[in-house]
Chains A and B, each alone.
Chain A
Amino acid sequence: MKRQKNKLAGLQRRKAISGYLFIMPFIIGFLAFMVKPFCQSLYMSFCDVQLGAMTFKPVWNGLFNYNYAFRVDPEYTRLLTEELSRMAIYSVSIMVFSFFVALILNQKFHGRALVRSIFFLPVILASGVMLKLDSENSLMNAVAQTVELNAQGTTGITDAIQNILRTSGVGVRAFEELFEVIDNIYDVAISSGIQIIIFLSGLQTISPSMYEAADIEGCTKWESLWKITFPMVSSLFLVNWIYTVIDFCMRSDNEIIEKITNLMNINLNYGYASAMSWAYFLLVMLIVGASTFIISKGVYYYE
């Protein structure tokens, strides 16, 4: 009896060892290419890094870099607030848009496969450097504008609505933000491919019998959207929110990242670049943490 137990323990130990062997690449990579650079860049952000011919020497100078970033550099704080507010607005609209599109794409209609593949196309075509090059291409913007104007006369319907709302003067500031998002709906549409797929996969796991039961009880479609669909995919809202925010930080048209990269590659000012990226990273993490905490309060887990 005792021997058998030992043997089991031996098997478990063997399995634990092979488990460690399996994840060994990750552990080595994590320690060498994540933890070490992570700590080093934190340390460097408090230093003035002097590059020599064969080596580099960080010289400790306390909070100087951070002070410089926030109180001297004319660009950094402006870019920081701009990017963070853009991130907040865009992330929210991406969430709303992708949930809405996923709801539509989950219905049955002709040509659904085609529409799905078109919505997913931007994941491939608007990744990496493409995004930035596209937004800078003024010729394409001009062509797009001409097409829009030809299609809807000289004043678009959005312009008309905008004018009406502006003259009536209700909540001007909020509307301005909303209009900005609507004008840039293309940006929202091309960055919500993955989110749509995640929502779709969630919607497909909801069993149709729930809707059937609700229908029989006299529930309208609108009610069942809020009482069934919404709670059932609420955990995916959390996943998508985190993904969207993080994805936004890594976009190639993010101006802060651009500034940091330039500073590093051209000016070789590693200490200051580290400080700026750390400040940005901490702020983003703070936002992610706070919003995750708030969203996770409302998440409903159905098991």
Chain B
Amino acid sequence: MSKAKTGKYTNFWERNKKSGGYLLRRTVMQYGVSICRAVLLFGLCFLILQPLLNKISVSFMTEGDLYDPIVTSIPLHFTTQNYRLAGGLMEYGTTLLHSLIIAVTVSLIQVSMCTLVGYGFARFQFPLKKFWFACVMAVVLIPPQVISTSLNLHFRFFDVLGIIELVSGSTLNLKSSVVPYYLMSFGCMGLKNGLYIFMIRQFFRNLPKELEEAAYVDGCGTLRTFIRIMLPDAKPILTSCFLFAFVWQWTDGFYSSMFLGNISLLSIKLKQLPDTFGAYLARVSGLGSSAGVSVPYSNCMLATGTLMVIMPLVVLYLFAQKGFVESLSSTGIKM
């Protein structure tokens, strides 16, 4: 019946007339909303992408183009000289390798430790559980800057209950070596590790309990159940945590400059790039260090360096985008 009725009024205006003008109003409204939304979203996306695009265009300019008032975004003299220079100044090859090794190992350790802890919090009942979980929240809340002073001294004069001093006669100076940061990663105290514990715990809590119970009944131990049954299920959250840990470690300046000062990492090299560039120019031109570098040129170098540092991350993001976004929303963060 109703089908025949709508079939009769195939023309849009007839249908509009029949509905008393409602159809037209609704359609106009719909298109209006989607046009507004498109404009707004385009603007916001442009806002976010613009610095990146600017950097790309600047990085291909020669020094002359930078001073040319006519040139704003498209380089007049196309050149890849900047990349070669920045790469040379940052010792890109070795630095990239160091950064990669550090970021991968650190984030692997952090994620595996946080998984153990998160699983422990999600699936076991033990005395003082609430207290320890409050400690996890405290780790999330306390900025590492508060304890940075004494961590510094702690690793400068490192000792385990006075044993090392007893054996070798003096304390160990672990500052500016990799060991402290690995130790902290093993203790789940690295960059934003409280957050990972929280996310992983949230994920494990949502998995069905029956899986584990079946394994226990079949005579599986807790550790074996964890490795054989629970870990394969937790792949999405683990990849997501690993990706976050990797990326944040890659760009981190705080822990890196505190503990890893002697190892050349991209984030540190990038910070020093304007200075090294100034020194390089002074050396090349034969003038003293007082000669000074033109600000636009050194900034152009910095933009090129930044692009080179974030390039691996952009590639990673393009391939593993789902890992970043989807699994974070699947944990269902609640408080």
| Interfacial residues, chain A to chain B (CB-CB below 8 A) | 12, 14-23, 25-30, 32-34, 36-38, 40-41, 44, 49, 54-56, 101, 104, 107, 109, 115-125, 127-130, 132-134, 137-140, 142-144, 146-147, 150, 185-186, 189-190, 194, 197-198, 200-201, 204-205, 235-236, 238-239, 242, 246, 249-250, 252, 257, 260-261, 264-265, 270, 273-274, 277-278, 280-281, 284-285, 288
Give the residues from 105 to 137 in chain B that come closer than 8 angstroms, CB to CB, to chain A: 113, 116-117, 119-121, 123-127, 129, 132, 135-136
With A25-B113, A54-B171, A186-B47 as given contacts, are A18 and B124 in contact (CB-CB < 8 Å)? yes
CB distance from B313 to the nearest CB of A (A): 5
Alpha-carbon distance A285/B197, docked complex (angstroms): 22
| Interface residue stretch chosen among B11-19, B83-91, B180-188 | B180-188
Query: CB distance B295 to A33 under 8 Å?
Result: no
Query: CB distance A118 to B186 under 8 Å?
Result: no
Alpha-carbon distance A26/B267, docked complex (angstroms): 28
| Interface residue stretch chosen among B2-10, B231-239, B282-290, B299-307 | B299-307
Query: CB distance A34 to B139 under 8 Å?
Result: yes
With A18-B223, A22-B116, A124-B247 as given contacts, are A264 and B189 in contact (CB-CB < 8 Å)? no
Interface residues of B toward A: which range? 35 or more
6 A-B residue pairs with Cβ-Cβ distance under 8 Å, sorted by A, are A18-B223, A22-B117, A109-B34, A119-B48, A120-B321, A277-B146
Query: CB distance B187 to A143 under 8 Å?
Result: no
Query: CB distance B148 to A19 under 8 Å?
Result: no
CB distance from A204 to the nearest CB of B (A): 7
Alpha-carbon distance A87/B45, docked complex (angstroms): 24
Secondary structure call for the A interface: helix
Query: CB distance A16 to B145 under 8 Å?
Result: no
Give the residues from 239 to 277 in chain B that come closer than 8 angstroms, CB to CB, to chain A: 247-248, 250-254, 257, 267, 270-271
Query: CB distance B120 to A16 under 8 Å?
Result: no
Contacting residues, chain A, for B121 (C-beta < 8 A): 23
Contacting residues, chain A, for B129 (C-beta < 8 A): 19
Query: CB distance B124 to A15 under 8 Å?
Result: yes
With A264-B148, A277-B149, A281-B142 as given contacts, are A143 and B116 in contact (CB-CB < 8 Å)? no
The answer to whether B32 has its CB under 8 Å from any CB of chain A is: no
Q: Pick from A17, A128, A201: contact of B328, CB below 8 A.
A: A201
With A22-B120, A274-B149 as given contacts, are A288 and B141 in contact (CB-CB < 8 Å)? yes
Contacting residues, chain A, for B317 (C-beta < 8 A): 117, 121, 124
Contacting residues, chain A, for B197 (C-beta < 8 A): 26
Query: CB distance B143 to A249 under 8 Å?
Result: yes
CB distance from A215 to the nearest CB of B (A): 13
Chain A's closest residue to B248 (CB) is A127
With A137-B302, A277-B148 as given contacts, are A38 and B142 in contact (CB-CB < 8 Å)? yes
Query: CB distance A107 to B37 under 8 Å?
Result: yes
Chain A's closest residue to B119 (CB) is A22
The answer to whether B153 has its CB under 8 Å from any CB of chain A is: yes
Contacting residues, chain B, for A127 (C-beta < 8 A): 247-248, 251-252
Contacting residues, chain A, for B127 (C-beta < 8 A): 16
Query: CB distance B119 to A129 under 8 Å?
Result: no
The answer to whether B292 has its CB under 8 Å from any CB of chain A is: no
Query: CB distance A133 to B270 under 8 Å?
Result: yes
Query: CB distance A29 to B184 under 8 Å?
Result: yes
